[in-house]
Amino acid sequence: MTARVTVYHREGCHLCDRMFDELRSLQHRLDFHVQPVDIDEDPDLKERFNVKVPVLAVEDEILCCHFLDVPGLERALEPD
């Protein structure tokens, strides 16, 4: 089953762009779908993640902030 990877981001964030690029480069070998969420469109998310973006969550569990944790993502996506 394809895992849902949510990236909380904002427009103009160079770290966010970098994380999206890194995730695209991993999709050829890991089974996941990226769901981008712009925190500036939701006041609660903006308050929660304001200076932490990008924030990556796998199936609603936060995995990393600012920089992609590739080994952590690989572990999170391992079949049970």
Query: Confidence band (pLDDT; 50, 70, 90) for 69?
Result: very high
Is the confidence at residue 44, as pLDDT, over 80?
Answer: yes
* 24's tokens: 């695209």
Are the C-beta atoms of residues 7 and 53 closer than 8 Å to each other?
Answer: no
pTM: 0.94
Q: Which CATH superfamily is domain 3-77 in?
A: Glutaredoxin (3.40.30.10)
How many helices (H) and strands (E) would you count in the chain? Answer: 3, 4
Contact criterion met (CB below 8 Å) for 57 and 37: no
Per-residue pLDDT at 1 exceeds 80:
no
Domain residue ranges in the chain: 3-77
